[in-house]
């Protein structure tokens, strides 16, 4: 099964380096790229992204804002995000982890990161997301029929209410 990952970085060279490293070491990977965090949420949903690699220091919308937006969106909150930033920027790493980042790596990429840790972190993040999707499927579907269950509809109604800032729907029973 193909795994989809998204690299969000304003530097085309950095995106390409990361892409080549991952494609060399992991099989069945489809890589998508974004040069900024604008309109990212729709893109993550429509490409069925399993994990993201996110640069922190970007113009227009920085990595922290992107991460916060993802965590607020119930469809995206579970996607593991690996953040990258300058090697000296420990505060940024700490802040990203506080905001819910899955892991981090520093730029420029060390030999160890390129050959070992980055591909393995990506692989582990994908596996985590797939397990999470499996659990999510079981909790929102009826085992016998495969149809959505009551919990799914209740949470979906809550989501619609929050989105429309209304409470048109009421639960009975």
Partner 1 sequence: MLKEVSTKVITEECSITGKETASSNAFDNTVAVLMEASGLDKEISEELVEDFCGQAIKLSCTIKKHIMGNNLMDAGLLLHQLKGSAGNVRAQKIAQYALEAELAIGILDHERCSGILKKIDELLAEFLKRTKEE
- Residues in contact with partner 1 by CB under 8 A are 10-14, 16-17, 20-21, 24, 57, 59, 86, 107-111, 114-115
Closest CB to partner 1 among residues 108, 134? 108
Whether residue 105 has a cis bond before it, omega within 30° of 0: no
Cα 173–chain centre separation? 36
Q: In 3D, which of 20, 29, 98, 91 has the Cα closest to residue 57?
A: 91
CB of 45 to partner 1, least distance (A): 28
Closest CB to partner 1 among residues 2, 13? 13
Closest CB to partner 1 among residues 60, 160? 60
CB of 132 to partner 1, least distance (A): 30
CB of 2 to partner 1, least distance (A): 21
C-alpha distances in Å from residue 112, one per residue of 10, 24, 141:
24, 15, 42
CA separation for the pair 62, 33 (Å, rounded): 16
C-alpha distances in Å from residue 91, one per residue of 64, 65, 95, 113, 134:
12, 15, 6, 20, 34
Whether residue 153 has a cis bond before it, omega within 30° of 0: no
CA separation for the pair 107, 127 (Å, rounded): 24
CB of 96 to partner 1, least distance (A): 16
CB of 87 to partner 1, least distance (A): 9
Closest CB to partner 1 among residues 13, 147? 13
Closest CB to partner 1 among residues 8, 129? 8
């Amino acid at each position: 099964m193909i795994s989809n990952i998204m690299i969000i970085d304003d530097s085309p060279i950095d995106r390409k380096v990361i892409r080549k490293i991952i494609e060399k070491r992991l099989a069945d990977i489809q890589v998508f790229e974004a040069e900024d965090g604008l309109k990212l949420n729709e893109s993550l949903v429509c490409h069925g992204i399993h994990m993201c690699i996110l640069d922190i220091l970007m113009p227009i919308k920085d990595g922290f804002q992107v991460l916060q937006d993802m965590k607020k969106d119930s469809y995206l909150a579970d996607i593991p995000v690996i953040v990258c930033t300058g090697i000296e920027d420990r505060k940024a790493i700490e802040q990203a982890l506080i905001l819910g980042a899955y892991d981090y790596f520093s730029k420029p990429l060390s030999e160890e990161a390129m050959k070992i840790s980055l591909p393995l972190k990506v692989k582990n993040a994908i596996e985590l997301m797939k397990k999470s999707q499996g659990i999510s499927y079981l909790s929102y579907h009826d085992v016998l029929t495969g149809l959505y269950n009551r919990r799914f509809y209740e949470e979906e109604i809550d989501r619609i209410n929050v989105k429309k800032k209304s409470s048109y729907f009421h639960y009975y029973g």
